Amino acid sequence: RSPRAAEILKAYGCWLLPLPAYSPDLNPIELAFSKLKAHLRRIGATTFDAVIEAIGDICSLFTPEECLNYLAHAGYVAD
């Protein structure tokens, strides 16, 4: 929101996309968090240790294609 920052970015050929203070629909991590929460409910992780273990296991639940879909859903273009 700083005019000086916008000026510097423009000088480097960048553009700014002003966003609302919080835009979960434009944040691809929200979809991943949703999947994580569903996984925690499915396995019944109710203790701290169970949650930590489940978070460690969650990476294997995401495919590269799914991650690209999260980005596309949020309006990002991935190469």
Q: For residues 50 and 43, is the Cβ–Cβ distance under 8 A?
A: yes
Segment 62-76 mean pLDDT: 89
Q: Which of 3-7, 41-45, 74-78 has the lowest mean pLDDT?
A: 74-78
pTM of the complete model: 0.59
Q: CA-CA distance, 64 to 68, in Å (whole number)?
A: 6
